[in-house]
Structure 1
Amino acid sequence: MSLKSLKGQHHVSAITANAQKNYEFYTQTLGMRLVKKSVNQDDTSVYHLFYADERGNPGTDLTFFEIPNAGQTHHGTNSISTISLRVANDASLLYWKQRFDQYGVDHDDISHTTGRAVLSFRDFEGQRLSLVSDEGNTGVKGGSPWNKSPIPAEHGILGLGPVTLTVYRPELTANVLTDLLGYREVRSYPALVQGQSEIRVFETGEGGTGAEIHLEGRKDLPSERPGRGSVHHVALRVEDTDELNKWVELITQAGLPNSGFVERYYFRSLYFRDPNGILFELATDGPGFENDESFEHLGETLALPPYLENQRERIEANLKPLPTEQ
């Protein structure tokens, strides 16, 4: 069976306990655009919010499920431990450091990781994020910041950068990345904690900032107890539905627990877990977020896929209003 390479990050989905504060932080502080206000299609009682570049191009989406009673996250292994967001160059990180100081955002100093300038920070729920410089990137291109963002265009967030997985048995995840998903192991860098193994870097497709997974092995931590401020899953880009159907067959043949083909309306998906419990999604590049809203009004009203539209009245009655006119 002939398969095209995965194209890099598609989106990352995380958990928040407060949709209103989440919306304010990611649109006003970080300047991302809310391109879709919808619901979790598997639990329509909670919001699913999509932040991205100007039109939600694949590889730029950071999404959140609102779970109001979510407890505190206890960090540990078998988790998606860091999300990174791309900015144009090293100078942008200086702008962001000043902005974080101004807005009281918890952050570290600018550092360099595997040749890139990085600014690590946390949101109001402790979600672990970093801004990574795209300076010198020759791989997957970033997106285009929204022109109504409060952030100057030259410093705007361009999309998703490398995603870090922290696992107890790294070789098992490495095997899934290389033998099953077709990633290439390209380099490594020193562990963040003394006594632990090096962090390994894998890339796919065109490579570069938007197509890397960093794999951290840790023997000194328990398994993570997820809650608000944790990551639910990472989604990887598949070109189209025909390719996705091939991946369904391949993942099933490999014996990994999986969802089979899932219709999400804005894209089509396959979910599966690796032996360390990491939840991966493979998602198609299209159809995209302008199926049901115009570019000018993305994210302003509650969007429901056609197969949920007949439940709109009940769904809206169970949701706390979230004003998002932009």
Structure 2
Amino acid sequence: MRKLQTQGVHHITLTGADRQSSIDFWEGVLGMPFVFDQPNLDNPREGHLYFDPGDGRLITVFTNEDRKPVHDRTPTDPGCVHHLAFAVSLATFRQVAKRLDARGIRHSGPKDRGFMDSIYFTDPLGLLIELACYRFEPPRGYAHADVMIEAHRLRVARGDYNIQEQHLADAIELLVERSQQSLSEDRSPKNPY
């Protein structure tokens, strides 16, 4: 028996309402360029819209002009999607609450997640959307996941409840020490003062 190794999210497809409400939300609120449009090849009564969430991957939406937005919270039963999270810059994150308020969109306000900050709101169909901003940048050659696994190991070893900024900083230091050579024989902290 062998694994089916994935290499990233290819796309996520959602069931939307009508075409224009989908475009208005995904591009008009979240700024995702509308990059491709064709019929749903499995159901010719539906459209299939494609949006770029900012990393070249795709969010796609099946639309049908007979479906209208329903504002109820989408189900959170086992097997259902709880929420979708999208990355934003710190500059954007600091503007999210104000910009949602200007549109009259209710939101959670900023949430401290230790390793990132988040804010939550629902799309016009009741799907919970999270806009998230990491509190760190990984060292050159590493991904956010590399820092997260090191920070997790440090958190567990120290008996801490959740990842905090000190775990991230120490994880980044460890990764740099492993990957970047130095002419110094002793790379331990020093006090030059």
- Paired position in structure 2 for 1:120: none
Tell me if structure 2 keeps the 8 A contact 1:266–1:291: no
- Paired position in structure 2 for 1:228: 78
Q: Number of matched residues?
A: 151
Q: Which has the higher contact order (CA 8 A, sep 6+)?
A: 1
2:153 paired residue among 279, 297, 316: 297
Q: Offset of 1:234 from its aligned partner?
A: 0.5
What letter is aligned with 2:24? N
- Paired position in structure 2 for 1:253: 102
Q: Distance in 2 between matches of 1:303 and 1:189?
A: 50
- Paired position in structure 2 for 1:95: none
Q: Offset of 1:226 from its aligned partner?
A: 3.9
Q: Offset of 1:195 from its aligned partner?
A: 4.2
Q: Offset of 1:253 from its aligned partner?
A: 0.9
Equivalent residue of 2:98, what SS? helix
- Bigger shift: 272-281 or 166-175? 166-175
Equivalent residue of 2:6, what SS? coil
Q: Distance in 1 between matches of 2:31 and 2:148?
A: 34
Equivalent residue of 1:235, what SS? strand
CA 1:290–1:303 in structure 2 vs 1: closer, same or farther (change >3 Å)?
A: farther
- Paired position in structure 2 for 1:184: 33
What letter is aligned with 1:304? Y
Q: CA RMSD in A?
A: 3.5
TM-score by length of structure 1 reads 0.39
Equivalent residue of 1:269, what SS? strand
Q: Distance in 2 between matches of 1:172 and 1:303?
A: 44
What letter is aligned with 2:61? L
Q: Structure 2 stretches of 5 or more lacking a match?
A: 137-143, 165-193
Equivalent residue of 1:243, what SS? helix
2:114 paired residue among 265, 288, 299: 265
Tell me if structure 2 keeps the 8 A contact 1:173–1:276: no
What letter is aligned with 1:187? F
- Paired position in structure 2 for 1:214: 60
Tell me if structure 1 keeps the 8 A contact 2:85–2:131: yes
Which protein has the bigger strand share?
A: 1
1:238 aligns with 2:93: no
Q: State the identity %.
A: 23
Tell me if structure 2 keeps the 8 A contact 1:172–1:276: no
Q: Offset of 1:292 from its aligned partner?
A: 8.6
What letter is aligned with 1:162? H
Equivalent residue of 1:160, what SS? coil
Q: Distance in 2 between matches of 1:231 and 1:215?
A: 15
Q: Distance in 2 between matches of 1:292 and 1:167?
A: 33
Deviation per residue, 1:10-39 (Å, 9 max, x gap) = xxxxxxxxxxxxxxxxxxxxxxxxxxxxxx
What letter is aligned with 2:109? G
Q: Structure 1 stretches of 5 or more lacking a match?
A: 1-101, 104-150, 308-326
Q: Distance in 1 between matches of 2:128 and 2:47?
A: 23
Q: Offset of 1:182 from its aligned partner?
A: 1.2
Q: Distance in 2 between matches of 1:170 and 1:232?
A: 23
Q: Offset of 1:304 from its aligned partner?
A: 2.5
What letter is aligned with 2:128? L
1:172 aligns with 2:21: yes
Q: Distance in 1 between matches of 2:163 and 2:154?
A: 17
